[in-house]
Structure 1
Amino acid sequence: MNEQIEQTDDRERIERKDQNEFTASLKSRDTEEQIDIWFYRPIGLRIAKACARLNITPNTVTITSIYIGVVAGILFYWNNIWINIIGMLLLIFANSLDSADGQLARLTNNKSRFGRILDGIAGDFWFGAIAIALSLRLMHAGWSPFVWILAVVSGLSHVIQSAMADYYRNLYLYFLKGDSGSEFDNSKDVEKQINDFTGIRRFAMKTYHNYTKIQESASPWLQKFLHKLRIEPDFMTPELRNGFLVANKPLMKYTNIIQFNTRVIFLFIWLFIGQPWLYFLFDIFILNPIMLYLISRQERYCRKTLAQVAKNN
């Protein structure tokens, strides 16, 4: 009887340890999508723990995910569903690695700005390869070269959507956890650090600087809100912080919708029904309006908050 009780206690301790490790590997449950919680994060944690034992760095995992994701995208060129399914599985694996790199960085406290940048652009490589492969596939099927216009508009839409989703999530984490729990950046700080790097890292920093400029250009009222935070430390009251989190938590679902999972689920549907051109239209006419709605909600909150503060003063 005592032996059974001890075995039960051991199982409970192991389960608590695993749960604590899983929680520590997440940025925040508020910003995580359910598909990630159920699928990608558990797989990513296993990969992260294996990499930690083998002394594999987060950047190595990210670079591996880029190669696998690009190969996956290339496989969508062929109008053969079995080849496409292999591409789908590789893309899922690439995203599992992309989840694992961040979890590994948080578990081992091996974080770096270059790793953050590399992780941020990984998806752009995957979806760039997908857009090129689908365009060539459609051209081979007899489509006009004008399909490349759709591909470029879709690609630019994807870049902006990803940039804004990432920006708002990290802003939320900044209010939730402060500097230590967020990767929130601004273009001026990034610009100052460009000269600290050389070669490919310098190129990555310049790319990331442009990335942050896109984020800031699309959110003028948020920039005024952040400027007030920087110049007036007392502006960040507990009430303001809590109000921001309450107002922005519902917006996190929209940042997830315009990211990987929704886009890929519908990409797979379009491939299964043999209509890959719908991928471009979905990006442009479905995900873009969702992004614009997200931006408008955030901008409206910042404008209203600044007006209320000015009125009270």
Structure 2
Amino acid sequence: MLVSTREYKASLKALEIEEYFDLWIYRPLGYIVAKLVQSISVTPNQLTVLAMFCGIASGYVFSLGTQQAFILGALLYFMFNILDCSDGQLARIKGTSSVAGKILDGAADYIAGIAIYIGIGIGYVEYVSNPVGWWILLALAAISNIVHSIVIDSERYRFTHHAWGRPHQLTNDYEYYKEELNRLKKIPGTCFERFVLQTYLVYLNISRFFHKSPKNQYFIYDPGIYYRKFRKMMKAWTFLGPTTHITIIIVCCLFMRPDIAAWIIVVPMNIYWLLLVWIQNKKLKTLHFITNPNPTKN
């Protein structure tokens, strides 16, 4: 297996929007997996499915409720995230990134996430004095996890649009998938595909709430100034990403304290989110609009 620094960098997202834990831990391991399977005709979608089953297995093991089960469940969750990174890296190495792969990856992440949260809830309920309170706390952590994932995606869209001039991908994606859903409604036997698309459209619609298109397409922020002022801000946003949640859960479950992970996600991470919103809004007020040289791109 030949390892190329250039190929490894090409397997990543733009460094400005990558999560720190991905760059430090999961992406290097994901790249090794991608290189190992590249020569045996394994597809990115197959890695996605394997990651999903790994996540489901992690949830089942967590539900057993023993200390050994929590350690094994944490290790399986760790492997899930490595595989979840490797599918996209393999697609970028092969140049086979696709719309279907993106949707499948998102669906697999949510299925695995649901299995893991339910498994942790069942496995740890015997160790708490207030089972109802435990389930409420875990539900709040799961909701926070989902909201944070939507927020970080929205902030990535915002940064790539204002700093690099990319079109508003959320709007483009929503319209594209809406048309695709209408097309599938006319085709018999596409219930599963329609369900996946409908779910993804709900996700996109919520994302659009957090990141709206500009009201006036003829004026934009200066891309160079926006990049310089918000590059570090974008990196700060990445600590709300799914990999941060996963890493917190893994570490806490290794010590059989998922309740600590839930509290961290519900309280400090939501405070951190609100703090970032406040800081970003203050920074945005210091920017001035310029004439958009290509208003149709918005």
Residues 159-178 of structure 1 aligned to structure 2 (within 5 Å)? 159-175=146-162
CA change 1:270–1:35 in 2 (3 A) is: closer
Number of the residue aligned with 1:309: 289
Number of corresponding residues:
282
**What residue ranges of structure 2 are gaps of 5+ in the alignment?**
185-189, 292-298
1:192 aligns with 2:179: yes
1:119 Cα deviation from its structure 2 partner: 2.0
**TM-score if structure 1 supplies the norm length?**
0.78
TM-score by length of 2: 0.82
Aligned equivalent of 1:74, options 57, 60, 83: 60
Q: Which residue of 2 aligns with 1:107?
A: 93
Q: Is the 8 A contact 2:20 2:239 kept in 1?
A: no
Give the Å deviation of 1:178: 5.8
Q: 1:195 to 1:224 in 2, by over 3 A?
A: closer
Partner of 2:199: 207
C-alpha root-mean-square deviation of aligned residues, in Å?
Answer: 2.8
The residue number in structure 2 matching 1:5 is none
Offset of residue 302 of structure 1: 4.8
Which residue of structure 1 aligns with residue 226 of structure 2? 244
After superposition, the Cα gap between the structure-2 partners of 1:44 and 1:138, relative to the gap in structure 1 and judged at 3 Å, is closer
Q: Secondary structure at the match of 2:139?
A: helix
Higher relative contact order (CA 8 A, sep 6+): 2
User: Do the aligned partners of 2:31 and 2:86 also contact (CA within 8 Å) in 1?
Assistant: yes
One-letter amino acid of the structure 1 residue matched with residue 210 of structure 2: A
- Compared CA separation, residues 41 and 177, structure 1 to 2 (3 A): farther
Distance 1:301 1:274 in 2: 41
Residue of structure 1 aligned with 2:113, choices 127, 138, 147: 127
**Residue type of the partner of 2:242?**
F
Tell me the percent identity. Answer: 25
Alpha-carbon spacing, 1:265–1:42, altered in 2? closer, same or farther (3 Å): closer
The CA distance in 1 between the partners of 2:19 and 2:154, in whole Å, is: 16
Distance 1:156 1:176, change over 3 A: same
Instruction: Compute the displacement of 1:298 (Å).
Output: 4.2
Contact 1:167 1:184 (C-alpha < 8 Å) held by counterparts: no
- Tell me the distance in 2 between the aligned counterparts of 1:71 and 1:91: 9
SS of aligned partner of 1:76 = helix
**For structure 1, which segment, 126-135 or 88-97, has the greater mean C-alpha deviation from structure 2 after superposition?**
126-135
Question: Which of 16, 19, 28 is 1:33 aligned to?
Answer: 19
Describe the shift of the 1:217–1:304 C-alpha distance in structure 2 as closer, same or farther (beyond 3 A). Answer: farther
Cα distance in structure 2, aligned partners of 1:177 and 1:59: 29
Deviation at 1:25, TM superposition (A): 0.7
Distance 2:182 2:245 in 1: 36
Report the Cα offset of residue 159 of structure 1. Answer: 0.7
- Which of 156, 169, 175 does residue 143 from structure 2 map onto? 156
Q: Structure 1 CA distance, aligned partners of 2:163 and 2:94?
A: 22
Larger radius of gyration: 1
Match of 1:94 in 2: 80
Task: Give the letter for the 1:74 counterpart.
Answer: Y
Aligned counterpart, 2:249:
267
Q: Is the 8 A contact 1:134 1:277 kept in 2?
A: no
Give CA deviations for 1:23-62 in whole Å, capped at 9, x if unaligned: 1111112222343223322222222233332222212211
Structure 1 CA distance, aligned partners of 2:163 and 2:90? 21
1:188 to 1:247, Cα distance in 2 relative to 1, 3 A: farther
Which AA in structure 1 matches 2:99?
A: R
